[in-house]
Every structure is written in C-alpha cells, then in structure tokens.
Amino acid sequence: MYDQLEADLHDTFWAAEGASAELPLIEKFLGQYPGTSLELGCGSGRLLLPLLGEGFFMEGLDNSADMLRLCRAQLGDMDPVLHHASMVDFQTGTTYGAITIPAFTLQFLPPQTIPDLLTNIQHHLHPGGGLYITTFIPWAEITGELNEGEWFLDQETRLPNGHAARCHTRFQIKRLSQELIREHRYEIRTDDGKLIQSSTSSHHLHWYWPREMDKLLGEAGFTIEQTLGDFDPDSACDENSQIITLMARANDEESVDY
Ligand SMILES: C[S@@+](CC[C@H](N)C(=O)[O-])C[C@H]1O[C@@H](n2cnc3c(N)ncnc32)[C@H](O)[C@@H]1O
C-alpha cells in the first residue's frame, strides 16, 4: 500500500482537485498548540511540507518507504524528523503539542487497534495537547450510487509530460461491519493509449459514525472541542456530511510525560 505508482501519483491526483481545503483547518488547529507537532501518516508531505514552510515545527511518521522518499526529495533546506514506522504502535521517545491524522489515514487501521492507538497518542502528547483527525463516510458506496464490484474511472489527470495518469477502482462493501475494500489500478498512458507504467493496490478501510468517534476519544481521555463537516470551517458535521474533522484536547490528567 502506498508504494510504486500509487505513491508517485498520490500528490498529483490530490493536486488535480485544487488547493487543499484541509490545510487551513490544520493551520488554525496547530496555532492553538505551541511546540512541535507530529503528523501520523504524513506520506509524501503534501500537508506537512506547506506547514513546515509556514513555520510550524513538525515531525512526520509513515510506514511507506516510497512515500517518505518522495517527501525527503522535496524538503529543500528544511530538515524535519521523519519517522519510518507504523502508527499502530509508534514510539518516538518524545511528546508533542499536537498530533494530526488528516486525509482519512486513521481508516486504514484495523478497528481493534484504535483504542491502543489513541492511548499511545495520549502518551505522546503534552498535558492538554491537541489531536486532529479527519475521516470520511463512503456515502456513494453505502447508498449504491456507485455499483459494487464494477470498475470505474476514479481519478484522471494529465502529467506535465503530456501523459495521462488514471486510477480505476472497484470496491466491496460490508455495511454491517462498516468495511470498504477498494482495489485500485493505476496507469500512465501516452496520448495514443500506449501503456507506460502500471501498478495495483488494495485498501481495507473502516468507517466510523461520529458517535463512535466521540466514544473512542472520550474513553481514551480526550475532550472533543470541535467537529466540522466537509472541511467547511463554518459548518458543524451533520448526518449529510461526507468528511468529518474532529479536533480534540487531551484531558490534563491522562497525558504522561517521557
Ligand atoms: C491518504 S495518504 C495521506 C498522506 C498525507 N497525510 C496527505 O494528506 O497527503 C495515507 C498515508 O498513510 C500512510 N499509512 C497507512 N497506514 C499506515 C500505518 N499503519 N502507519 C503509518 N502510516 C500509514 C500511507 O503510507 C500514506 O502515506
């Protein structure tokens, strides 16, 4: 997952959707928490690099060597600590003012690991530190707007050299257990259709209803301070929201300093 062509095309496909609507939310959130913060699942630095450029002190963590290689290649004269590790049981040996898990990364983890992850995050936060999480609800798959088992063109963009980059996707959904299994076929083709490069990937995702996230965070000793829908800074999440952003604070007595 997140290697080969999937890693190379990750930022290109996001960029094709325009400026990141999530970045201003993270900037505002981090502004409340002094000190260094950590992005779990930082990938190729799509969000981390602009935040470092804005002057935030940040570290990144990812389990994909290819994504971290792409991130390092774009650092210029910035020199953040980048951890090659799994977020399931990471140990960086320090504490942070805030920890972020943007861009749906939490949903790649098996649900049974989430309580331990949140406890571990507590241990890596200063007392009263901040936690930022974005997840999504796959409404198009849940409601049948997208057809289960059928390949569809998910993403398409033109590369600077004129070649076409595409991602075809098909999925399987398990509504009761809230699981979404997506298969992706990435390809780069010339204008006349010649295949230059291809790779495949499979993602096993889980989604969480807002009340489930409230419960998980509460049990791990966090207080939710804000819940936004669809990256809109002025809109609380409601039952139509597809994207849910949670901003929480660690209860003082729960955090443990190293
Ligand atoms: C959707 S990408 C988001 C990357 C980056 N946060 C961004 O917004 O561009 C998800 C990232 O999470 C990483 N990831 C997935 N599971 C992980 C895990 N268990 N531990 C660490 N990183 C993980 C992937 O390698 C990938 O870089």
pLDDT band at 4 (very low <50, low <70, confident <90, very high): confident
- Pocket test residue of 108, 169, 203 for ligand 1, highest count of atoms within 8 A of CB: 108
Query: Could you read off the pLDDT of 219-237 as tens digits, one per residue?
Result: 999 999 999 999 999 989 8
In the 3-class helix/strand/coil scheme, how is the chain assigned residue by residue?
A: CCCHHHHHHHHHHHHHCCCCCCHHHHHHHHCCCCCCEEEECCCCCCCHHHHHHCCCCEEEEECCHHHHHHHHHCCCCCCCCEEECCCCCCCCCCCEEEEEECCCHHHHCCHHHHHHHHHHHHHCEEEEEEEEEEEECCHHHHHCCCCCCCCEEEEEEECCCCCEEEEEEEEEEECCCCEEEEEEEEEEECCCCCEEEEEEEEEEEECCCHHHHHHHHHHCCEEEEEEEECCCCCCECCCCCCEEEEEEEECHHHCCCC
Enumerate residues lining ligand 1, CB below 6 A. 2, 41-43, 46-47, 62-64, 67, 86-88, 102-105, 108-109
- Output the pLDDT for position 255: 52
pLDDT, residue 258, reads 47
- The alpha carbon of 2 and the centre of ligand 1 are apart by a number of angstroms equal to 8
- At 3 the pLDDT is 76
pTM for the whole thing? Answer: 0.95
Residues of the chain with pLDDT > 90, as a percent, come to: 86
Q: What is the pLDDT of residue 206?
A: 98
pLDDT higher than threshold 60 for residue 114: yes
Residue whose Cα lies nearest atom 12 of ligand 1: it is: 41
Nearest ligand 1 atom to alpha carbon 22: 8
- Tens of pLDDT, residues 200-216: 999 999 999 999 999 99
pLDDT at 208: 97
pLDDT of res. 6: 87
Domains and CATH numbers, the chain: 4-137+208-254 (3.40.50.150), 139-206 (2.20.130)
Mean pLDDT rounded to a whole number for the chain: 94
pLDDT of residue 254: 60
How far does residue 133's CA lie from ligand 1's centre (Å)?
13
Strongest mean pLDDT among 66-70, 132-136, 233-237: 132-136
